[in-house]
Copies of this chain bind each other. A is one copy, B any other.
Amino acid sequence: MVLELKAPEEPTVTALLPLVPTFLSYILSFIFVGIYWNNHHHLFQAVEQVDGRILWANLHLLFWLSLTPFVTAWMGANNFAAWPVALYGVDLLLAGVAYFILVRTLLARHGEDSVLASAVNRDFKGKISVVIYATAVPLAFVSTWLAGGLYVLVAIIWLIPDRRIEDRLNP
């Protein structure tokens, strides 16, 4: 994740102001890519076997993450307008689906009794994220604030340590 911000040619705070939406988009994207980075680290520590199917599932996730700088820049450059906010959500949604597929592919290879299976558990956060993204995308055309708020909600769900949120939501 690289910040694609052209440095303004004037050394004033005013010259920085138009970059604020892009900077906010960047923070959000940095957190989302960070979530995948962390989950990926967690996941692959329990991985014992890798085959072609797993490598492709992994590249599939990487593909949607590689689009993040583009959708981030479009959303930032257009001040969180409806279409860019929706497309940003579509990218998050497809990355979320790709992560879901990656987890299933890993489970299929490692079996129900593996360390991996117990580490992944029910992957509650992964599933709820996909549901929230799918809800947020159409809502972008009603209110970009609502859609953006739902993206932030997903980020918060992941930033809260596992036990607390799972205990609260699955008593």
Q: Is the CB of A11 within 8 A of B78?
A: yes
Chain A interface mostly helix, strand, loop or mixed? helix
Q: Which residues of chain A (52-86) have a CB below 8 Å from chain B?
A: 52-53, 55-56, 59, 63, 66-67, 69-70, 73-74, 76-78, 81-84
Whether, in the assembled complex, A162 has its beta carbon less than 8 Å from a beta carbon of chain B, the answer is: yes
* 23 A–B contacts from the bound complex (CB under 8 Å): A1-B66, A2-B66, A2-B69, A3-B66, A7-B73, A7-B76, A7-B77, A8-B74, A9-B77, A10-B78, A11-B81, A11-B83, A11-B84, A30-B59, A30-B66, A37-B59, A38-B59, A41-B50, A41-B55, A42-B52, A52-B162, A53-B161, A56-B159
